[in-house]
């Protein structure tokens, strides 16, 4: 089992995370920012766990991670954002594609503690299935313990529609290139 790594973002600073192994907990101080831009394509199973604690007033996190799972990969991903101070902001926009027979389990949770007045949170996971045997299970959760917070969440899973392929092919583009364009656009 991989040990959980702890990272601290000092007051009035910005930290960017692009890749890590296993589980991490990030503590974000006052008026500091965390940017997560995880990108991966894998044919093997992978687990990522991220917990972000917005501990200082005015702290924030933006997560624009993208992933693709191939073959029989099992991707197990979790994002937990804890708003523990006033005027904190989180924006999680994760997108991914499951190919072949890949399986994806994605869980996102935003916890707004009672002390986190005027917190703002957005939690979204969008996924695309391209294989006949693929499966994606996405579950966003909100736990709000204050009366003064603005929080939104969503999740969607879709397949490439024949009408999308037809439209692009009608512009003289091959079906293979049309599918590639749709995938690239989805992950942009």
pTM (whole model) above 0.85:
yes
pLDDT band at residue 3, thresholds of 50, 70 and 90? confident
Asked if 10 and 65 count as a contact pair (C-beta separation under 8 A), the reply is: no
The crossing angle, in degrees rounded to 10, of helices 162-169 and 175-187 is 110
Closest CA to 48 of 108, 135, 128: 108
pLDDT for the residue numbered 157: 96
Secondary structure (DSSP) of 112-174 = E-TT-TTEEEEEEEEEEE-STT-EEEEEEEEEE-SSSEEEEEEEEEEE--HHHHHHHHTTT--
Whether 164 has a pLDDT exceeding 90, the answer reads yes
Please, how many CA atoms are within 13 Å of residue 177, restricted to the half-sphere of its CB? Answer: 8
Where are the extended beta strands (E) located within 18-101?
Answer: 22-28, 33-36, 39-42, 46-54, 60-63, 66-69, 74-83, 89-98
Whether 26 has a pLDDT exceeding 60, the answer reads yes
pLDDT band at residue 1, thresholds of 50, 70 and 90? low
pLDDT band at residue 170, thresholds of 50, 70 and 90? very high
- Which helix (H) or strand (E) segment holds residue 102: the answer is none
Q: Which residues pair with 69 in a beta bridge?
A: 42, 98
pLDDT for the residue numbered 119: 98
């Amino acid at each position: 089992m991989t040990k959980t790594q702890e990272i601290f973002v000092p007051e009035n600073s910005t930290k960017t995370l692009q890749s890590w192994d296993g589980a991490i907990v990030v503590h974000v101080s006052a008026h500091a920012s965390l940017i997560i831009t995880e990108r991966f394509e894998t044919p093997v199973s992978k687990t990522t766990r991220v917990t972000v604690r917005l501990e200082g007033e005015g702290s924030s996190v933006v997560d624009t991670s993208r992933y693709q799972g191939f073959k029989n990969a099992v991707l197990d991903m979790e994002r937990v954002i804890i708003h523990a101070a006033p005027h904190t902001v989180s924006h999680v926009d994760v997108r991914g594609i499951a190919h072949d027979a890949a399986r994806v389990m994605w869980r996102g949770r935003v916890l707004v503690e009672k002390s986190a007045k005027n917190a703002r949170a957005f939690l979204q996971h969008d996924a695309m299935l391209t294989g006949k045997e693929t499966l994606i299970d996405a579950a966003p959760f909100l736990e709000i313990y204050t009366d003064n917070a603005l929080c939104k969440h969503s999740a969607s899973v879709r397949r490439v529609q024949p009408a999308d392929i037809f439209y692009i092919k009608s512009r003289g583009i091959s079906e293979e290139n049309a599918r590639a364009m749709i995938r690239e656009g989805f992950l942009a």
